[in-house]
Amino acid sequence: MGRSGSCRPGRGYTVIVAEKPKAAEKIAWALGRPVKCRLYGVPYWVLRVNGSSIVVAPSAGHLYGTYTSQRGFPVYTYYWAPIWEHDRSAGYLKKFYLMLASILPKAGVYINACDYDTEGSLIGYMIIERLGDVRRAYRMKFSSLGREELRRSYRNLQPLDMEMVEAGRTRHELDWLWGINLSRALMYALSRFSGARVSLSAGRVQSPTLVEAKNRWVERSLHVPKPSFTLEIILDKDGTKFKATPLGWKPKTRLEAVEHARRIRKLGRMKVKAVRGSRAAMNPPPAFNLGDLQAEASRLYGYSPAKTQSLAEDLYLEGLISYPRTNSQKLPPAIGYNRILNSLRMGPYSGLVSRLLAETRGVLKPVQGRKDDPAHPAIHPTGESPKGLDRDHGRIYDLVVRRFLAAFAGKAVIAKTSVVLVDDDGYQYSASGVGIVVEGWLHYYPYAKPRGDQLPSLSPGEYVEVSAAKANTIWSKPQASLSKIELLKWMEKVNIGTEATRSRIIETLFKRGYLKNSPEVQVTELGLTVAAIIEELFPQLSSPSLTRYFEEKLEEVRTGRTTREKVIREAIATIDELLNVYRERLDNVGSSLSQALGLSRPRVKCMVCDREGRECNGYVLCKYHCMALIRLRRELAGIADAMGKSEQELLKWISSTRYAGTWVRDVARLLREKPTPYRGS
């Protein structure tokens, strides 16, 4: 391998198309000593390998997209064209297009070296197909931008992965067909009713995700907090304090809880009835896939899925970790366990790696997770030493390295102790403790260490002192949480979207104004309305079943069991059927959207909000506040009895507590201000 001093390699050279400039630079330097050149302000690299000229030229992601010249809806004819020609915000792509359009026509051999997934396969293929010659094209397959892996990939070129190309193309065309038709249908209804032009969107994956967010938000907003009562008892054994709680019973009212606490303090002691100890082994976790990494970064650092994905992709482009957009939890031997660990031994993880190699005695058998990905292994470090990482990138890199090391480590052993105590009146209580007996893999991944109190040494028959006892009221919380990471987990669970697209779809819901942070994730009035329209007029899209069905069809395209043309024809038939029903309700849709956007007012206004109102138990309320009123009235008397308070006292508390849903708080304030139902004239 040598160095060429010219940015003009002549004709008949090999051109390697990379997905991004950083990836192109990594590939060029892995293969030799390149010259960095520029054309239209875009860098590319020229070098000679074994006497042949090579040009490594980057794209900037997708250069081509789907477009149509038709107006209105439905629209089923489209073509592929450079994105910058149609999208003003993508003007930066023009210089990449012009650079590639100058370099590719003179090449003799083409290599697609974009990321090895359906997106990368499509990106490289479209560039070579439009600007070069796919008959003389090959594929580089790699899972990291490490020097050795890139060289190995170049030495083992494969034919173009046409089934992955077709799967990627099918996904784009499917998403475009669903998106443009449903979005235009919504915007047309609004424009026809109010004359307003507002950017609205719906789609094959976006819509069921929005409906799920809406359902969770509605349940949270309708939550009526219900009390349960417990006792917090602090016991003392020779100066070591620990907690106990009732076993097999609990106070039914606040007054009963307070009386029990007073009784326990008066007794002043409890007898140890039984002590049970057990040990449990904790198996090491597998290395991360993208969803697991996003969930862990959210739990530990509060990062959104999109932020974690972006940070991981930066680390990949720097050659520090393997390709992050993977579903795999498996580490195949082909990645080179010893090579990676020995490289990590040279950096800040030297102590951990040395300990791991000593513990395993060099026998490296990582735990393998259940999930797999045909294109890439689980996310792992390449062994390259990081330099100058900021806090956020450093955190993600640390998680990847530590989880990788933990996968090779031994089991952890946790000791659990449970104690049964009894007071002099015969009431039983329990206390529990946890301790780490064998640290095992937890030494390498301490973020998973179990939390719990350590108990003092206790024996049956001995007495312990009561240090304190108080009554606690525990208010119920809504079960369905609404956050970016919970939505992403739901998308993974029901198998819609991909590792690459899920976080982007969630961010689109925020961009469209369907969701907002305030400070928790909330569904806006527009989001509620669009979700309701989807549920009523596009019911197949209100659940994941239809979306998942087409995901399965995409997998069939990827594995060659069906064709893109068949899948597209089926999608068009489905969309056409849905739009025929939709047209009959255009005015209703337009009116609902107009009100949600504040462009028109309802004929009858809710007494609490700006939505359309209707009679509800003597009040004029929208459907959501009506549901809240019914739920609150059904529960209020029982809550008041349990708390020993009047209903008016409870309404005052509910109207301001964070335990109650938004709409329940609204209705509680209404009942305080207008306890007598409103009677219209």
Catalytic residues: 323
**φ, ψ (nearest 5 deg) of residue 680:** -65, 160
Residue 427 CA, distance from chain mean position: 46
- 151/341 Cα distance (integer angstroms): 20
Contact (Cβ atoms closer than 8 angstroms) between residue 119 and residue 164: no
- 611/604 Cα distance (integer angstroms): 8
Indicate the SS3 state at residue 94. helix
Cis amide linkage into residue 285, ω under 30° from 0: no
- 222/130 Cα distance (integer angstroms): 54
Neighbour-count burial of 556, counting CB atoms closer than 10 A to its CB (0-12 exposed, 13-18 middle, 19+ buried): middle
Q: Which two tokens stand for residue 563?
A: 């064709």
The strand pairing partners of 463, in sequence order, are: 271
Which residue has 């450079």 as its token pair?
A: 82
Cis amide linkage into residue 159, ω under 30° from 0: no
Q: Where would I find the H helices in 606-654?
A: 623-643, 647-654
- 48/668 Cα distance (integer angstroms): 76
- 507/504 Cα distance (integer angstroms): 5
CB neighbour list of residue 514: distance below 8 Å, 6 or more residues apart: 210, 213, 523, 524, 526, 527, 530, 531
Angle at the Cα of 112 from the Cα atoms of 106 and 117, rounded to 5 degrees: 160
From residue 225, alpha-carbon distances to 11, 221, 478, 608, 660 in Å are 74, 11, 8, 20, 6
Look at strands 515-517 and 463-475 and give their pairing: unpaired
CB neighbour list of residue 116: distance below 8 Å, 6 or more residues apart: 139, 141, 142, 143, 161, 323, 375, 376
- 276/259 Cα distance (integer angstroms): 30
Which residue has 């992403």 as its token pair?
A: 488
* Alpha-carbon torsion, ordered 282, 286, 290, 291, to 10 deg: -40
**φ, ψ (nearest 5 deg) of residue 299:** -65, -45
Quickly count: other Cβ atoms within 10 Å of residue 454's Cβ: 11
From residue 120, alpha-carbon distances to 310, 372, 603 in Å are 16, 19, 52
Neighbour-count burial of 381, counting CB atoms closer than 10 A to its CB (0-12 exposed, 13-18 middle, 19+ buried): buried
- 219/496 Cα distance (integer angstroms): 23
The strand pairing partners of 418, in sequence order, are: 276, 432
- 592/526 Cα distance (integer angstroms): 9
From residue 441, alpha-carbon distances to 300, 404, 407, 631 in Å are 18, 10, 8, 48
Number of residues in the chain: 681
Neighbour-count burial of 372, counting CB atoms closer than 10 A to its CB (0-12 exposed, 13-18 middle, 19+ buried): middle
Count helices and strands in the chain by DSSP H and E runs: 21, 19
